[in-house]
């Protein structure tokens, strides 16, 4: 596609429910990243994928968070048993390759998650 797309754009859920956020990267980009941006805060790195592999999951805030990527394309970030502190904008980005951090990342519009 022309750019990174994410769905849903907005999600309101009740505390304790599970949510699934989707990211569709730019076609041909092998690297995919998930970030979280809380109100007034900088972007917090969560996880990255090189192909379908996520070598380092240490950025995920807790074991309630998981992510997968299939077919080297679409990625899903799942939050189980959501808590109010999970409320944030979840941004996905992709880059052509991982290239040691020097590759430009292109961001999707984000999913705004509100946990009541």
Is 72 near another protein (CB under 8 A)?
no
**What is the per-residue binding string for another protein in 38-57, x denoting contact by CB under 8 A?**
--xxxx-x--x-x----xx-
Closest CB to another protein among 56 and 63? Answer: 56
Helix (H, G, I), strand (E, B) or coil at 69: strand
Is 1 near another protein (CB under 8 A)?
no
- 41 contact partners, CB below 8 Å, separation of at least 6: none
Is 106 near another protein (CB under 8 A)?
yes
Exactly one of 67, 110, 113, 115 binds another protein (CB under 8 A); that residue is: 110
Give the burial class of 112: count Cβ atoms within 10 A of its Cβ; 0-12 exposed, 13-18 middle, 19 or more buried: middle
Contact 21, 108 (CB under 8 A): no
Is 96 near another protein (CB under 8 A)?
no
Closest CB to another protein among 14 and 58? Answer: 58
- Nearest Cα neighbor of 69 from 95, 32, 97 is 32
Q: Which residue has the tokens 């430009």?
A: 104
Binding site residues, another protein, CB under 8 A:
4, 31, 33, 35, 40-43, 45, 48, 50, 55-56, 59, 91, 98, 100-102, 104-110
């Amino acid at each position: 596609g022309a750019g990174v797309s994410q769905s849903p754009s907005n999600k309101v859920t009740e505390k304790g429910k599970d949510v699934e956020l989707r990211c569709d990267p730019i076609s041909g980009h092998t690297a995919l990243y998930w970030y979280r941006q809380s109100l007034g805060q900088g972007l917090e790195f969560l996880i990255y994928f090189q192909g379908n592999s996520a070598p380092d999951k240490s950025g995920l805030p807790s074991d309630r968070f998981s992510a997968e990527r299939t077919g080297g394309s679409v990625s899903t970030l799942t939050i189980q048993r959501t808590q109010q502190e999970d409320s944030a904008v979840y941004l996905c980005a992709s880059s052509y390759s991982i290239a040691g951090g020097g590759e430009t990342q292109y961001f999707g519009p984000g999913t705004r998650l509100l946990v009541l």
